[in-house]
Amino acid sequence: LFAWALLGLVCIRSRVKKSWIPPAIEVLIEKWCSLKSTTHLASVILLASAYTTLFTWHGIWRFEAYNAHAFDLGNIIQPLWATTRVGFLHCDIDKNSTYLGEHWAPILGLIGFVYPLFDSPYFIFLIQALAFASGAIFLWIFAKKKSLPSEARILVVVCYLAYHPLRASNGYDFR
């Protein structure tokens, strides 16, 4: 709905003012496009960092508001906590004594060894947001190897980070 409203406003602006965006923003875009490619990579890293910060905060906010799905989040947190205290991905919630008996997720074993440093569900939200945001950097590198112009590379990254299914899946508990 927001995208349609924004598109409508841009179309109205293009009819009335005979331009899609204000001249001041056009000047900023032209200056930004004239910068070196390393500055564009820094912009991608900044966008990915902003995405990570926003969605980590969103996960923490949902958790603190008792709006997280207890079964899904508990299924992840309990084996991570137990990896360094009881046994490798030990889980009493599932039918088996190990999380790998229910779900095949060996990456949790690696995360389980780092988890005691933070020992909080917040760490899971950070890991999840970092995993999704890292795709933006890989997309930028891939687009560079395909010889896309720098403006198109940034557009690909912005479209990736703004893609609704990506944001929706990141808004869900770690799975």
Distance, CA of 130 to CA of 137 (rounded, Å): 11
Report residue 55 as tokens: 């969605």
Dump pLDDT digits (tens) for 87-146.
777 777 666 677 666 677 778 878 888 888 888 888 889 998 999 999 999 998 898 898
Closest CA to 130 of 98, 153, 107: 107
Dump pLDDT digits (tens) for 13-57.
666 777 666 777 777 767 766 666 567 788 888 999 999 999 999
